[in-house]
Structure 1
Amino acid sequence: MQLQKKSKKISAIAQNKNLSIQFSLDGFSFCITDLTTNDVNLFSEYIFEKTIASPELLLEKIMYIFANDKDLQQDFKSVSAIHQNNLATIVPNDFFDRNNLVPYLKYSVKTLATDFITYDNLSSINANTVYIPYVNINNYLFQNFGEFEYMHHASVLIDKLITKIKNSSIKTGFFVNVAPNLMDIIIIENDKLSMYNSFSYSCKEDFIYYILFTAEQLQMNPEEFQLTFLGKIESDSDLYKITYNYIRNINFIESTTCFFNEDDDFSNHSNYILLS
């Protein structure tokens, strides 16, 4: 099984440690944190050669990684997992019924009668992320670690961006989180979420279309607003270059951890959800 692994370790692993995992059909990453100091001791990322076709095949990859990566074969004080997929929607509290989750997804996500649907409460915006987690992977993690926490990546991302905006002088934030074949667009205005959506893309033209379409719908001038990238995108990439043809003001999000150095294989904005 071919897997590309990149990793950074900065110190000996502490006794009281937390394992945080993030996975999607395109990759698997994890970090180990010292619970006493909150310092990140280790980050590792596995990049799949191509997008996995199903959660069942993804589980096979993850089982292989756990069986062969000694850093994962330890005792952890706590474990958390982040499901990264586009099987989610945001529902305000005023319209939310936790006992009837199916209708929230049926118009935007192809669901099956057997799908398990759950939600994360987002107290920062008085809303909930309703989503379909990969239950087979949750079951596997439970077999390995017992009780653990899990969330959808949109929940983690929105909470972090809302906090970041509140602690800054920025009034409006246009954020684009980039993953292979998947992009999240998050608009925050006056400390409140204006829009969240996730789009699948297969080429750079799709990518810029969704950005410009979103800006047009919200009547945001590409010559004026600030676009902030995070995730798997760099200034020398085709995605960045085509965006710069249309958007004048672009930057990368500043991470609070600064775990990576300039000479590392990673940039600080590249794993914002898991590390910041």
Structure 2
Amino acid sequence: MIKQIVKKKKTINKNIEATSNRKLSIQFSLDGFSFCISNTLHQVTEFSSFNFSETVNTPELVLEKLQEIFKTEKSLQDDFESVTVIHQNNLSTLVPNKYFKEDALNNYLKYSVKTIATDLIVYDELECIDTKNVYIPFVNINNFLFQNFGEFEYKHHSSILLEKLFSKSSASLHFYVNISHSIFDIVVIKDAKLLFYNIFEYQTKEDFIYYVLFTLEQLELNPEETIVSLLGDIDKESSLFKILYTYVRNIRFLPSKNTIFNDQTEIAKHSNFILLG
């Protein structure tokens, strides 16, 4: 039985003209699915997100949920000039270009990710940090999307996240936390260089604060002074924010300037950063 899918948000930007040459961007994880449609000027005209009532634990169950969404969501039944797919999971690792060998992809993942012989292992090019992002995409989802749209580009969510954060970061220290329902990313950038990146799984707020404080400690950063910028699925009323504020005094939300936010207040400007940031 497919567990409940909750359509959390849908926003249409009425101030921007939708054109026939549109781009579709899709992001999915074990927790949910979201997409946005943009025009030729890269302006987002429509955004929707769906939360799964419970985190699923296999790509097969994710596919079942996506198939159900595609049957009912008319916007996904249109034709698009281009399609970009973002795989959000913790099956990845960063490899500096000077150590990278294309015939050794499995070796880069085997110490941190449980792999099997049939796994497809691919990589994204991250020019902003002279690094490859090696990861496992969900092949069954790619196959389903290919049947719907034909050829498309796909990337790992952390590749998009890092590219966007580097484009926004100045020479000072930046400590970012990008939060999803069951995983979160910590990105630390200093002097326009990547100081730290990792993906953490969590189930409780205690798990969350442990990893944040552990990272601060390992990097010898003072939680009383370091500014922590929050992205994703968190607000001031959440248990994660409250426990974080107990230990970290300088917290801010990193807002997006995307015009989709101009005429509505339902979607927090720091949420859905990978798609809308």
Q: What TM-score bracket applies, with the shorter chain setting the length?
A: over 0.9
Paired position in structure 2 for 1:3: 5
Aligned residues: 272
Which residue, 124, 139, 150 being the options, matches 1:135?
139
Name the SS of the counterpart of 1:99 in structure 2.
helix
One-letter code of the match for 1:40? V
CA–CA distance in 1 between the matches of 2:263 and 2:211?
31
CA–CA distance in 2 between the matches of 1:98 and 1:262?
46
Would you say 1:96 and 2:97 are equivalent positions?
Answer: no
**Equivalent residues of 1:259, 1:268 under 8 A apart:** no
Q: Deviation at 1:26?
A: 0.2
Paired position in structure 2 for 1:122: 126
Q: How does 1:185-196 map to 2 (within 5 A)?
A: 185-196=186-197
CA–CA distance in 1 between the matches of 2:175 and 2:59?
31
Name the SS of the counterpart of 1:245 in structure 2.
helix
Would you say 1:229 and 2:230 are equivalent positions?
Answer: yes
Name the SS of the counterpart of 1:102 in structure 2.
helix
**Equivalent residues of 2:36, 2:48 under 8 A apart:** yes
**Equivalent residues of 2:175, 2:188 under 8 A apart:** yes
One-letter code of the match for 1:275? L
Q: Deviation at 1:71?
A: 0.6
Q: How does 1:1-276 map to 2 (within 5 A)?
A: 2-5=4-7, 6-11=9-14, 13-35=18-40, 37-165=41-169, 168=170, 170-261=171-262, 263-276=264-277
Name the SS of the counterpart of 1:64 in structure 2.
helix
**Equivalent residues of 1:258, 1:268 under 8 A apart:** no
Q: Relative contact order (C-alpha < 8 Å, sep 6+): which is higher?
A: 2
Name the SS of the counterpart of 1:22 in structure 2.
strand
CA–CA distance in 2 between the matches of 1:52 and 1:137?
14
- Long gaps (5+) in structure 2: none
- Long gaps (5+) in structure 1: none
With 39-48 and 260-269 compared, the bigger mean Cα shift is at 260-269
Q: Deviation at 1:262?
A: 7.9
Name the SS of the counterpart of 1:124 in structure 2.
helix
CA–CA distance in 2 between the matches of 1:52 and 1:201?
14
CA–CA distance in 1 between the matches of 2:260 and 2:250?
26
Name the SS of the counterpart of 1:230 in structure 2.
strand
Q: Deviation at 1:258?
A: 4.3
One-letter code of the match for 1:215? L
CA–CA distance in 1 between the matches of 2:238 and 2:264?
18
CA–CA distance in 1 between the matches of 2:244 and 2:237?
12
TM-score (norm 2): 0.95
One-letter code of the match for 1:89? T
Kindly, what percent of the aligned residue pairs are identical?
A: 53
CA–CA distance in 2 between the matches of 1:107 and 1:261?
45
